[in-house]
Structure 1
Amino acid sequence: MARKNSQQRFEVVHSDCAGIDIGSREHWVGVNPAQHAHPVQRFETFTDDLGRLADWLASLEIKVVAMEATGVYWIPLFELLDARGFDVYLVNSRATRQITGRKSDVLDCQWIWQLMTHGLLRGAFRPADAICSLRSLVRQRANRIRDQAQTLNRMQKALSQMNIQLANVISDISGVTGMKILRAIIAGERCPEKLASMRDGRIKAGQDTIARSLHGNWRLEHLHALTQEVALYDFLEQQIAGCDKAIGQALELLPALEAAPQPATKVLRSSHRSTAEQAMLHQALYRVLGVDLTAIPTIGVDTALVLASEIGPDLSRFPSSQHFCSWLGLAPPTRISGGRQLGGGGPKIINRAAQALKQAASNARNEKGFIGASHRARLSRMDTSCAIKATAHQLARMIYAMLTKGQAYVEQGIEAYESRSQERQFRALLRKARKMGMDLVKAA
């Protein structure tokens, strides 16, 4: 009796696809050898070459294109192919690792084409083009804020080298009092009493204490460094204001999901925006997202802006909240071998939306609602970093439900958490009692 051929072949999912190996100077494109006599073509990265690449793929009636996410070199080609109507898959390089000893640009594009043909590659999440534009502006603003923080550190270094202990008596040298004193020092004022008289009424330290902290050596090189750092700080402040203006314009171009803006539910403050600017940004975010994310405790306008720019209002790409949390890198890792859970964490994921949620979760310690009570309970039984990640996971599930269902956040209160906690404790005691052949009865 003849043996049956048990060999299984991979099913062809995308018969009209192409694989592209991305490079800084050239791109290698691989297609089905049955479609072209020379299935591998090389194109340089100039704009006209990218146009010829798209024309070549269109002549072969290619519909699906897969490419690796290599630095930022994929962005121009991705945007061009996406605008030309191709279904572009941006894949992680971990999913396209070559066999050992078979590594070249030609083999890479052919390998990507082969994997994509059988549907073995998944595209990365990339929001709509308008959201990507907003995302770039928000990230640029974050870079300027980080640069400004470094400038403050260098200002503090110059003051310490002159033995000016101003930072030890006021909490923030970039505040009203600190900047007044620094600008007066740059202008040539050296009298500690006159400098201390610029103290704002909200400063807790007395004028005499501030005057004592302003006795220094006033060396020329440190004064020069301080002058340049203050000028750089002012320049970066203008850059941040320009980013805020561009972000506002980008939000106005996005389609509105809600006609009437919802009023703010809590006091909204920012070190770089006025109250009126915060309110306008809050209303714009509500108009674009259709829900008020700032209604969730610990989430402010800046966090909501990061979330809006990183994920956008449309989460249809994620079938469930579990998929969404996994993309954020907040879900527990799945590492099972031999039927047992393996130790260690999953792959390191750098996600700006997840970082914003973790920052919001770290502020939940003093929150007096349901989220705050949940976070404090986690802190009592696990490590701080694990508790912050778990609370960020909780916030992510809430955000997914709000954006997909269009429902507003409803505060359950600390009483709801205590009620759930008592129910869990009762069920645990009931299980223990039944194991011992006993039963529990609630007191009347």
Structure 2
Amino acid sequence: MPRGRKLNDYVAGFSVDKYKQNQRITRISERTLVIGADIAKKIHVARAVDFRGLELGKECTFYNDQEGLMKLALWMKELQQANAKTEIVFGVEPTGHYWFPLAAFLEGQGIKVVVVNPHHVNKTKELEDNSPTKSDYKDAKVIADLIRNGKYSEPSLPTKEYADLRILMNFREKVSINLKQVKARIGNWFDRFFPEYSSVFKEWDGKTSLMTMRRFPTPEEVVSTGARGILTHWKTEVKRGVGIKRAEQLYAAATSSIGLTEGTMAARLELSALLEQFDLFIKQLESTMQKVMEILEKIPGAAHMLSIPGVGEVTVAGFLAEVGDLNKYDHGQQIIRLAGLNLKENSSGKRKGKTGITKRGRSRLRALLFRCMMPMVAKNEVFKALHKHYTTRSQNPLKKKQSIIALCGKLIRILYTLGTKQKEYDAIDVLGPVRQAQLQRSAA
């Protein structure tokens, strides 16, 4: 069992969880029709139970189209009338993206949609028939039973500008991955056909280098063009920063190149195609971020969140894309739980287990905060001082990674405060006079 302050945090967290669990259970009454649905790409299966777990009617198998959704709505309405139910709670297992249109349809019908943890479904499926067998029909009943026992959560589907922001940031992440892959392929191309190129251009994606790659990428073409010809081509677009010395370096590197000389025609075609992809992904990133910035200007509090030194547009946009409207939360601790950064401990009696984070939340949000915090502990004076304090304090010092995780939680609370209260970042407000004096004494 945790001791001291940790015990108080543990009890407080347990009390909050207990209160929310009681709320969920209380919501499922004898007037509630509980429906669990196993979601697939084309065909869904739904089953209905009452608050005691008695199955009502037959299952409903419906397609993921308008006709299928209308069939589901009619099936639920008939069950509701036949069993004198006044409320419907519809639950799914969010293991993919196929449930999004269904959830939007049901919310449009005024039906409450909840989700159950896929981990819980997997662990409790044997309680249904004492068998590890898995099927869509069985999973639908397992999901319904979890809901009636209060083992569910209410999803926060983004709307309006937050929906646009989530789609744009997800698309940006995919484009960034594609861009990295193309850069790696271009590096692979140079390793095969012009290994010495990096000795002339440290970064191949500069303007002068891209001009060279498009006009004379192979050593043979560089040698045939000559240093003067190369410089003449450069000067058509680049007026400053390059001269004959750089052109002579490129010519010398091409003269002594050990690159492959067979298949150069196909190699040039390959590089041309890779450069087209590179240009496309760069353009997509720029246009995406332009739209993101337009949306951020419309969201109250976003500009105040950007006032934190070391926090940029990508961090704020990614944070809001994952979290949504901050006004839906009562406290920053709720967002910490959403990110899976809340602490867990496995202790019993005198045995004290290892403390870590639950990781039961949005992995993208955790990764975003971690990537943001790495440079902040080096450049942001407040977080730099806190990181030093956490890792060097006399009692219970943290490891560097543990300190960064703790500071990610602090950053969440700061972003929440600035976003909801719409106030500028102030280091004194963040630390408080007492903590600021402690850090100053430890630094001295």
With normalisation by structure 1, the TM-score equals: 0.74
Query: Which of 305, 315, 319 does residue 307 from structure 1 map onto?
Result: 319
| Aligned counterparts of 1:168 and 1:415: Cα–Cα separation in 2 | 51
Q: 1:368 to 1:23 in 2, by over 3 A?
A: closer
Counterpart in 1 of 2:439? 421
Contact 2:37 2:143 in 1 (8 A): yes
Separation of aligned partners in 2, 1:169 and 1:415: 52
- Find the aligned partners of 1:314 and 1:361 in 2 and give their Cα distance: 21
Structure 1 gap segments, 5+ residues each: 1-9, 249-280, 427-444
* Alpha-carbon contact 2:125-2:142 (below 8 Å) kept: no
Partner of 1:277: none
Counterpart residue identity of residue 224, structure 1 = L
Aligned residue in 1 for 2:5: none
Give the paired residue count: 382
Match among 69, 92, 109 for residue 67 of structure 1: 92
Find the aligned partners of 1:399 and 1:47 in 2 and give their Cα distance. 41
CA contact under 8 A between 2:308 and 2:425: conserved in structure 1?
A: yes
Which 5+ residue runs of structure 2 have no aligned equivalent? 1-24, 81-85
| Correspondence for 1:47 | 66
| CA–CA distance in structure 2, aligned partners of residues 308 and 362 of structure 1 | 20
Q: Does 1:406 align with 2:422?
A: yes
Question: 5 Å matches for 1:174-193?
Answer: 174-186=205-217, 189-191=221-223, 193=227
More helix, by proportion = 2
Cα distance between partner residues in 1 of 2:104 and 2:310: 36
Give, in whole Å, the separation in 1 of the partners of 2:284 and 2:190.
Answer: 25
Tell me if 1:13 matches 2:28: yes
Shift of 1:353: 2.2
Alignment partner of 2:403 out of 364, 384, 387: 387
Partner of 2:370: 358
Instruction: Summarize the Cα distance change of 1:314–1:394 in structure 2 as closer, same or farther, 3 Å threshold.
Output: closer
Deviations 1:51-106 (A, max 9, x none): 22123224425432111112122122112112221111122212333242344333
Match of residue 268 from structure 1: none
Q: Does 2:154 correspond to 1:154? A: no
**How far has the Cα of 1:357 moved from its partner?**
1.4
State the superposition RMSD in angstroms. Answer: 3.5
> How many angstroms apart in 2 are the aligned matches of 1:98 and 1:422?
53
Are the structure 2 counterparts of residues 375 and 196 from structure 1 closer, same or farther at C-alpha, using a change threshold of 3 Å?
farther
- Are the counterparts in 1 of residues 92 and 114 from structure 2 also a CA contact under 8 Å? yes
Letter in 2 for 1:343: K
Instruction: Tell me whether 1:226 sits opposite 2:271 in the alignment.
Output: yes
SS in 2 for 1:19: strand
Deviation, 1:298, is 1.4
After superposition, what is the alpha-carbon deviation per residue over 1:99-139, rounded to whole angstroms, capped at 9, x for unaligned?
A: 42344333322232223223232234433365233211221
Task: Check the 8 A contact 1:156/1:167 in 2, yes or no.
Answer: no
- Letter of the structure 1 residue corresponding to residue 137 of structure 2: V
Instruction: Render the CA deviation track for 1:255-285: whole Å, top value 9, x for unaligned.
Output: xxxxxxxxxxxxxxxxxxxxxxxxxx2x741
Structure 1 residue 397 displacement after superposition? 1.6
1:165 matched to 2:196: yes
Q: Which amino acid aligns with 1:391?
A: L
Distance 1:324-1:338 versus aligned 2 partners, 3 A rule: farther
Equivalent residue letter for 2:34: C
TM-score with structure 2 length normalisation? 0.74
Question: Of 278, 281, 301, which aligns to 1:236?
Answer: 281
